[in-house]
Chains A and B, each alone.
Chain A
Amino acid sequence: MTQAQIPLDDTTLLSGQEHHPIHKPWKWYDYFTYNIDHKVIGIQYLVTSFVFYLIGGLMAVAMRMELATPDPDFVDPSLYNALLTNHGTIMIFLWIVPAAIGGFGNYLIPLMIGARDMAFPNLNAIAFWLNPPAGLLLLGSFFFGGAQAGWTSYPPLSEITAPVAQSMWIGAIVLVGTSSILGALNFIVTILMMRVPSLSWDRLPLFCWAILATSALALVSTPVLAAGLILLLFDINFGTSFFKPDEGGNIIIYQHLFWFYSHPAVYLMILPIFGVMSEIIPVHARKPIFGYKAIAYSSLAICLVGLFVWVHHMFTSGTPPWMRLFFTISTLIVAVPTGVKIFSWVATLWGGKIRFTSAMLFAVGLLGMFVLGGLSGITLGVAPFDIHVHDTYYIVAHFHYVLFGGSVFGLYAAIYHWFPKMTGRMMNEKLGQVHFVMTFIGANLTFLPMHSLGMHGMPRRVAMYDPQFTALNKLCTFGAFMLAASLIPFLINAIWSWSRGPKASANPWNALTLEWTTASPPIVENWEVLPVVTTGPYEYGMSEEEAAAVEG
């Protein structure tokens, strides 16, 4: 298949004819400053969020060490609650969401649609710079005991426990929420308005569809969370009683406000990853994506239905019978478009010539993990069963299969896939394989036993538990150590390759989307001459005749 008709490796060739002034490449210190280049901002998001991933991961290891024995003997129980609260908060709001949407979204969207930058570069930079203070607020809250009411922060507990830390926690979430709203707006305008003219909707890469759907969802749902949290902040600090039952407030309203955002939040974390999967699998399987339209539309369907399932987090709460059943049915319906995506990726593998690069290993690993997480998710959607396992380790198992086995595996796959584009250097495949094997085994050791723990009676968010659960908990803790160790080969690989890895060509995977038509790393403003789209994004294996027929 032919590439888009622009020079690939020799980008200086046309520089003389380019009206655009050529900007000098960024120096390393530019990445630590306010910078409006979407690629710089993308990398800023990725590196910052990865640092928070390490911090959140350390918190998880501390919790697993506490849980190695049934007694609260490793950390103080209050500190344990602060760890579980901030582990969840950091992993969601400062790792997965900013890495997937802020990091890869910012880096890739303009490149994939043939734009020189995002629609609003300054807004983009502002959105990023809201994140570091949010992280500092969370870390600083530990000086005040740390927020201890879980990432859900249900009142009244959140109103009577560590009020200063809880207020800092609210401040942090409102900051990242604002960042997310600004980013979403930027993505929608960019994708709608800034596609290179030759890029028709039916040739838009699926990652762009996923980010479009994600952004719409973020715009609709995030303000509701902000509203709920600001009411909570007023209750804690300014004597209001929105959620104080003894003063006429209603605690259930908070749960609705919280989950109206926070259920869609799981789609914010997984839809961009679905987009990543749709990019990586065709390239490394050398096959067109199976069912392009079905995948694009199913993202939109998930968004739409996903707005109406939030009460499945509240089946044991103050939820009337009709609501329990309505949300059982709506939750089950989400399984259909999600299944369409999974089946489409599996079908994409069929008849391919699959290169098991590190990126592809993580993508295939994700498929396996996500199938299990999705199936346990269906069982959780069913109210009569959910009532038994709600707020137990079964839930912890389920959401780590979809968020670690799904989102984090997807982020790793994306890093291995786009690292050459971002840094201009290849990663080491051997270390990547070691990393994958350790991550895959570690994740299953950590999270698989949790299903059984939860069903047999171990609630989540406990620092002490019934001794009958000791053996499986030790296994989980062992798995967590393995996951922590799996970061060693990855970090060595990333740091070493970034500085000394073999140089990457513009298109090392021989891929067809537009980001591979410019240099690795791309120049400032991305292209000498804007690319012209002559082929669909996934037309691998298309014969010359078929290509000619398509071109008409």
Chain B
Amino acid sequence: MKQIPASLLTLTAGILITLISLWVGQNHGLLPEQASEAAVLVDELFNVMVMIATALFLVVIGAILLFCIRYRYRPGDEGDGIFVEGNLPLEAFWTAIPAILVIGLGVYSVQVFQEMGGFDPGSIHAGHGMMGGGSMSHQMPQMPQNSVAMMAQAPGDGAIATDAMSGMVAQMPEGTDPAVDPVPRFGFGANTAEEGRAPDLVVNVTGMQYAWLFNYPNSGIMTGELHVPVGKDVQLNLSAKDVIHSFWVPQFRLKQDALPGQSSGLRFVANKVGTYPVVCAELCGSYHGGMRSQVIVHPVEEFDEWLQQNTVAQQQNSAQTVAVNPADLSEGEYLAPYAQDMGVDAQVLSQLHPRS
């Protein structure tokens, strides 16, 4: 092949590979819909990685295929190939380029991590001080104006804020080991926009074989499905009763293990109304695959309504609700709703899950 056509070919290939990579980076269709603010950040990062990876993949696979065809053995030619043992500049080049790429990627991922609130999973502490009642504000001197300010910032969120003020449910959520420090040490804290502010809503999440329990400490609501308002800053405090579970909402791009004996948490802002799956991602026993629930992201008014209704219902029925202590129920009663969700017999479940 003559010199000029070869370089032209290379140029064309380079342009094509760039265009294809740029297109694939935006149109790979590998990610589910975005329903949280974190999802936007994670997806941008992933798209960049897909773009770089596509280019590298095309170059390397292209080279392999090209060389395999061009330098294939032809019958009768029993000789050896060209005697080349290496090329220092070329080797330096293909060491340096990946090194630069991964350093760039590393810097970018640190930035995304920071924006997601990854550096401060314990920032919930502010929330706890507030939720526990006004008297605890001294714990958080750096917190501005405590909950009054929060209410002012969230006018559409009266129910939650009022709830926070009343501070009526300061006790540990049901099913949580009281020895566990309630401040999450692992997971994600406030994202950069919410930094230094208390969350709008706190939900205590307990994982157990094979169900998720969601406890709203300020209204005493206990459910098997997570309800959150759209656009609000939500803090989940994760704990596990028996074995490790992992709380995952694919559409939020967030996951955190719920660990027996250690506290973890996730803080997020859901930005799209809808119903999304809550999946357990850590092997937790035979029915691990059935440990699925859902998160319902409501418009704010609808959420307030839901909160109101359920708070009222729980109070009317206080013998069974606020004071519901799972330990008082029989295995069958306790597990029946989850058994129904999972399509397994409650009897089987209670045998699988002997509570100590």
Q: Which residue numbers of A lie inside 8 Å of B, CB to CB?
A: 1, 72, 76-78, 80-81, 148-150, 154, 156-157, 160-161, 245-246, 249-252, 285-294, 316-321, 324-325, 328-329, 332-333, 335-336, 339-340, 342-344, 346-347, 349-356, 364, 367-368, 371-372, 375-376, 378-379, 382-385, 387-388, 390-392, 451-452, 455-457, 459-466, 538-543, 546
Q: Which residue numbers of B lie inside 8 Å of A, CB to CB?
A: 30-32, 41-42, 45-46, 49-50, 53, 56-57, 60-61, 63-64, 67-68, 71-74, 77, 79-87, 90-91, 94-95, 98-99, 102-103, 105-106, 109-110, 112-113, 116, 118-121, 177, 185-186, 242-244, 246, 248, 250-251, 253-257, 259-262, 264, 277, 279-290, 292
In the assembled complex, the CB of A508 is this many whole angstroms from the nearest CB of chain B, namely: 14
Take A251-B244, A333-B102 as given contacts and tell me if A457 and B277 are in contact as well, using a CB distance cutoff of 8 Å: yes
B interface SS class: mixed
Max count, chain A CB within 10 A of own CB: residue among B186, B256, B289: B289
> Smallest CB-CB separation from A392: which chain B residue?
B281
Q: Are B60 and A77 touching (Cβ within 8 A)?
A: no
A28 to B299, CA, bound (A): 76
Q: Are B261 and A246 touching (Cβ within 8 A)?
A: yes
- Contact partner of A456 among B50, B71, B250, CB < 8 A? B250
| A–B Cβ pairs within 8 angstroms, 14 of them | A157-B285, A251-B260, A285-B81, A318-B264, A321-B118, A343-B60, A346-B67, A368-B64, A371-B61, A383-B118, A388-B42, A388-B250, A464-B289, A543-B83
Q: Are A371 and B60 touching (Cβ within 8 A)?
A: yes
In the assembled complex, the CB of A341 is this many whole angstroms from the nearest CB of chain B, namely: 11
A286 to B84, CA, bound (A): 11
Max count, chain A CB within 10 A of own CB: residue among B94, B121, B251: B94
Q: Are B289 and A148 touching (Cβ within 8 A)?
A: no
Q: Are B83 and A542 touching (Cβ within 8 A)?
A: yes
A154 to B258, CA, bound (A): 13
A459 to B256, CA, bound (A): 13
Q: Are B289 and A463 touching (Cβ within 8 A)?
A: yes
**A317 neighbours in B (Cβ, 8 Å):** 186, 244, 257, 259
**B283 neighbours in A (Cβ, 8 Å):** 81, 149-150, 154, 157, 391, 461
Q: Are B109 and A388 touching (Cβ within 8 A)?
A: no
A382 to B116, CA, bound (A): 14
**B118 neighbours in A (Cβ, 8 Å):** 321, 324-325, 383-384
A316 to B248, CA, bound (A): 10
**B50 neighbours in A (Cβ, 8 Å):** 379
Q: Are A383 and B113 touching (Cβ within 8 A)?
A: yes
A426 to B88, CA, bound (A): 38
- Contact partner of A540 among B32, B83, B185, B288, CB < 8 A? B83
- Contact partner of B244 among A154, A347, A465, CB < 8 A? A154
A459 to B289, CA, bound (A): 8
A376 to B45, CA, bound (A): 14
Which 10 residue pairs of A and B lie closest in terms of their CB atoms, listed nearest first? Answer: A245-B261, A462-B289, A541-B80, A457-B250, A352-B81, A351-B82, A464-B289, A332-B102, A349-B67, A287-B81
| Given A339-B98, A350-B71; 10 other pairs, CB 8 A cutoff | A291-B91, A342-B60, A351-B71, A351-B82, A375-B53, A375-B57, A391-B255, A452-B30, A464-B289, A541-B81
A139 to B85, CA, bound (A): 48
- Contact partner of A318 among B30, B77, B95, B257, CB < 8 A? B257
Q: Are B250 and A148 touching (Cβ within 8 A)?
A: no
**B41 neighbours in A (Cβ, 8 Å):** 384
**B81 neighbours in A (Cβ, 8 Å):** 285-287, 351-353, 540-541
Q: Are A457 and B243 touching (Cβ within 8 A)?
A: no
A344 to B119, CA, bound (A): 39
In the assembled complex, the CB of A402 is this many whole angstroms from the nearest CB of chain B, namely: 15
Q: Are A372 and B73 touching (Cβ within 8 A)?
A: no
A354 to B70, CA, bound (A): 9
**B60 neighbours in A (Cβ, 8 Å):** 342-343, 346, 367, 371
Q: Are B286 and A78 touching (Cβ within 8 A)?
A: yes
In the assembled complex, the CB of A71 is this many whole angstroms from the nearest CB of chain B, namely: 8
> Smallest CB-CB separation from A547: which chain B residue?
B83
In the assembled complex, the CB of A240 is this many whole angstroms from the nearest CB of chain B, namely: 16
Take A246-B177, A541-B83 as given contacts and tell me if A378 and B30 are in contact as well, using a CB distance cutoff of 8 Å: no
Q: Are A384 and B121 touching (Cβ within 8 A)?
A: no
A395 to B89, CA, bound (A): 36
**A460 neighbours in B (Cβ, 8 Å):** 281
A355 to B82, CA, bound (A): 15
Q: Are A252 and B109 touching (Cβ within 8 A)?
A: no
Q: Are A156 and B260 touching (Cβ within 8 A)?
A: yes
A352 to B71, CA, bound (A): 5
Q: Are A324 and B281 touching (Cβ within 8 A)?
A: no
Q: Are A251 and B261 touching (Cβ within 8 A)?
A: yes
In the assembled complex, the CB of B24 is this many whole angstroms from the nearest CB of chain A, namely: 12
> Smallest CB-CB separation from B90: which chain A residue?
A347
A544 to B78, CA, bound (A): 17
A340 to B86, CA, bound (A): 12
A371 to B53, CA, bound (A): 10
Q: Are B243 and A157 touching (Cβ within 8 A)?
A: yes
Q: Are A156 and B244 touching (Cβ within 8 A)?
A: yes
A354 to B60, CA, bound (A): 17
- Contact partner of A391 among B72, B113, B262, B282, CB < 8 A? B282
In the assembled complex, the CB of B14 is this many whole angstroms from the nearest CB of chain A, namely: 17
> Smallest CB-CB separation from A543: which chain B residue?
B83
> Smallest CB-CB separation from A357: which chain B residue?
B73
Q: Are A350 and B244 touching (Cβ within 8 A)?
A: no
In the assembled complex, the CB of A407 is this many whole angstroms from the nearest CB of chain B, namely: 19
